[in-house]
Chain A
Amino acid sequence: MALLDVEDLSVTFRRRGQRTVHAVDGVSFSVDAGEVVALVGESGCGKSVTSLALMGLLPRRGAQVGGSANFDGTELLALDQRSMRDIRGKDVAMIFQDPLSSLNPVIPIGIQVTEVLVRHRGMSGDAARKEAANLLDRVGIPDPRRRLKEYPHQLSGGMRQRALIAIAVACQPRLLIADEPTTALDVTIQAQILELLKELVRDSNTALIMITHDLGVVAGMCDMINVLYAGRVVESARRKELFAAPRHPYTVGLLRSIPRLDVGRGEKLTPIRGSVRDVLPWSEGCAFAPRCDRRIDASIGEPPPMVPTHTGHSYRCVNPVPVEEKA
């Protein structure tokens, strides 16, 4: 059985006087222990909302969560606040996009690292401080004892993200959710942070949900990739298969928009037409149809079903890209 099994997860935002938003609309995926699973899609497709729903961090007013998320036998979506607090940071931890705003600006790094050790590992005083220094060392922060006394603004962006990662892995969680962990960082540092995450999950057999809008980020590290569009998974495959034989036109579009060295100079990057705002509600057909070159009559009318293949690769398209015609 998988470590995390997400079945038909849906999140609907209802606010008085505002349009109802189906931010997540029946998402299913699973994560095995030690596996790295990616959720990929343009911004606004529901990646963050998915992760927040799993962590029970959506605002209780206005957000309606449905479906199920089974974490090693525990139904996360049905858990009361107190039990959820015990799981958060201990069994499931999260790394956020912006390391500066995710750290408390007026508290030294050390206290923010020890806080979680005190909370979940019952450590205190010197032991906690020592472990905090160990953790900073482990994520590659030089001179950790001095760094513990510093404030977030005194660290560089990369160092801050390393500190956040140290906090997230402090209690050796079994599942780590990283929501665009490199998006706010410089390109050179992005690669280092990805490398660090890769090493950490490999060494400790932690499962990782890697959330990103950039297929390039997941190319080097993920086992399984789920492509999201407008709140639904539109394609799901193992990494090699997805890159080698993408079937959904949206996935192909995402792949075409990654800069690549093996593409001739004359060929331009082809961004996907239109924007995420040009969506059709899933109930009326394929949400991607308005932007799609391969749109056919069958795309409109009723929601396309997920088509499974024998290799575990599945896609949600009535006119999929033929395998030979790979990007």
Chain B
Amino acid sequence: MTLASGQKKDKLDRLSELAAVRDDEQGVSLWRDAFRRLRRNPAAIVGAAILLLFVLVAIVGPFLVPYDPAAQIGVQQGVVRSGAGIIPGPSSDHWLGYDHQGRDEFSRLIAGSRQTLIVGVVSTVIGLTVGVLLGGLSGAAAGLGGRWGRWVDNVLMRIVDMLLSVPSLLLAVSFAAILGPSPATVMIAVGAVSVPVFARLLRGSMIAQANRDYVLAATSLGVGRGRIAISHVVPNSLAPVIVQATLTLATAIIEVAALSFLGLGSQVLGQPEWGLMLAEAQRYLGVRPALAIYPAVAIIITAFGFTLLGEAMREALDPKLRK
């Protein structure tokens, strides 16, 4: 075609569509639009602030703590005698007092955040990876794979359904019982619990995407089914999975704490972890209930932050709520 006429047409094209463009730029970009909505949502701001604080504390906190979280200072100084029911509370030197072994409670709470973050994140990443692989395979097979695909999908989904039907904590405890207590056990156990959730979510999302026009258009160009699944369908199906990952982090933190509480977590002597701290505080509830309250509040606030942000993201990305 001739260039001159083309350029003229473009000018017209752009002029007459200026209104439409402006409209589009406000509405259609999924992520940018979602981000804009997130920033306007106070719940998201609060959630993000909590998370930022938590991550910051977990990363730099252990370097800044006033005392070695494993050192039994109180016992050495003779101020803590838990056998006799003497565990001093907050003072100007020890902001949250001592724990039952005479260690600085504040230092342990700060240092414990790192363990909680690492185990929570790693277990979610494990669950996410396995879940996305299973769900992706299943979704691709079901959405694009023909007769064989349906068979593969059926087998995979029955496995996932089995995992899904077992109460998550029970599943985690069984895993932990098989593998023996260690942080790795907790990560795998908590990760395994979230696998079916991610798998189901991605599969459902992919099957919905497989009926979209752009998939038909790509097919009409001779693009192979594998490539369509990986480079077209999956990228469009990940939004709900990412939101779910944020929500899963919240439950993972609680589950990690629960497993440690049950004595299935870290066996390294003196290593602080919120769930373990909670478990240990149990025996001294009568003497100093605050020792249970500190880690409990830390767990709740952190989980609350993840949930706030996760729910806000879900809302922001929900196409039904977008104008």
Does A associate with B in a complex?
yes
Give me the interface of A with B, judged by CB distance under 8 Å. Answer: 55, 57, 60, 85-90, 93-94, 96, 98, 100-107, 115-116, 119-120, 138, 140-142, 151-154, 156-159, 164, 167-168, 186, 188-189, 192, 195-196, 199-200, 203
A60 neighbours in B (Cβ, 8 Å): 146
B14 touches A107 (CB 8 A): no
A106 neighbours in B (Cβ, 8 Å): 30, 235-236
Q: How far is the CA of A89 from the CA of B219 in the complex (A)?
A: 9
B13 touches A156 (CB 8 A): yes
* 5 additional A-B residue pairs with CB within 8 Å, beyond A85-B223, A115-B231, A153-B28: A101-B212, A104-B232, A140-B13, A158-B17, A188-B16
B9 touches A140 (CB 8 A): yes
Q: How far is the CA of A192 from the CA of B14 in the complex (A)?
A: 12
A156 neighbours in B (Cβ, 8 Å): 13-14, 17, 20-21, 24
B213 touches A192 (CB 8 A): no
Among residues of A, the one whose C-beta sits closest to the C-beta of B146 is A60
B223 neighbours in A (Cβ, 8 Å): 85, 89, 115-116, 119
Q: Would you give the shortest CB distance from B113 to chain A, in whole angstroms?
A: 35
B212 neighbours in A (Cβ, 8 Å): 101
* The one of A107, A151, A188, A199 that contacts B231, using a Cβ cutoff of 8 Å: A107
* Interface size band for B: 35 or more
Q: Would you give the shortest CB distance from B142 to chain A, in whole angstroms?
A: 13
Q: How far is the CA of A94 from the CA of B214 in the complex (A)?
A: 12
B221 touches A93 (CB 8 A): yes
Known: A116-B223, A119-B222, A188-B12. A105 touches B17 (CB 8 A): no
B9 neighbours in A (Cβ, 8 Å): 140, 192, 195
B10 touches A93 (CB 8 A): no
Q: How far is the CA of A200 from the CA of B217 in the complex (A)?
A: 20
B30 touches A105 (CB 8 A): yes
Known: A102-B214, A103-B214, A104-B214. A86 touches B222 (CB 8 A): yes
A57 touches B220 (CB 8 A): yes
Known: A103-B214, A105-B28. A120 touches B222 (CB 8 A): yes
A189 touches B221 (CB 8 A): no
Q: How far is the CA of A94 from the CA of B220 in the complex (A)?
A: 7
Q: How far is the CA of A87 from the CA of B20 in the complex (A)?
A: 36
A200 touches B221 (CB 8 A): no
Q: Would you give the shortest CB distance from A320 to chain B, in whole angstroms?
A: 37
A195 neighbours in B (Cβ, 8 Å): 9
Q: How far is the CA of A145 from the CA of B201 in the complex (A)?
A: 37
A186 neighbours in B (Cβ, 8 Å): 16-17, 20
Q: How far is the CA of A188 from the CA of B212 in the complex (A)?
A: 28
* The one of A98, A140, A157 that contacts B10, using a Cβ cutoff of 8 Å: A140
Q: Would you give the shortest CB distance from A113 to chain B, in whole angstroms?
A: 10
Known: A103-B214, A151-B29, A157-B17. A203 touches B1 (CB 8 A): yes
Q: 5 closest A-B pairs (Cβ-Cβ)?
A: A153-B28, A89-B221, A89-B222, A88-B222, A156-B17
Say yes or no: is B218 at the interface (Cβ < 8 Å to chain A): yes
B146 neighbours in A (Cβ, 8 Å): 60
B1 touches A142 (CB 8 A): no
Q: How far is the CA of A119 from the CA of B219 in the complex (A)?
A: 12
Say yes or no: is B91 at the interface (Cβ < 8 Å to chain A): no
B236 neighbours in A (Cβ, 8 Å): 104-106
B167 neighbours in A (Cβ, 8 Å): none
Say yes or no: is B224 at the interface (Cβ < 8 Å to chain A): yes
* The one of A86, A103, A154 that contacts B24, using a Cβ cutoff of 8 Å: A154
A154 touches B222 (CB 8 A): no
Report which residue of B214, B231, B232 has the largest number of chain A beta carbons within 10 angstroms of its beta carbon: B214
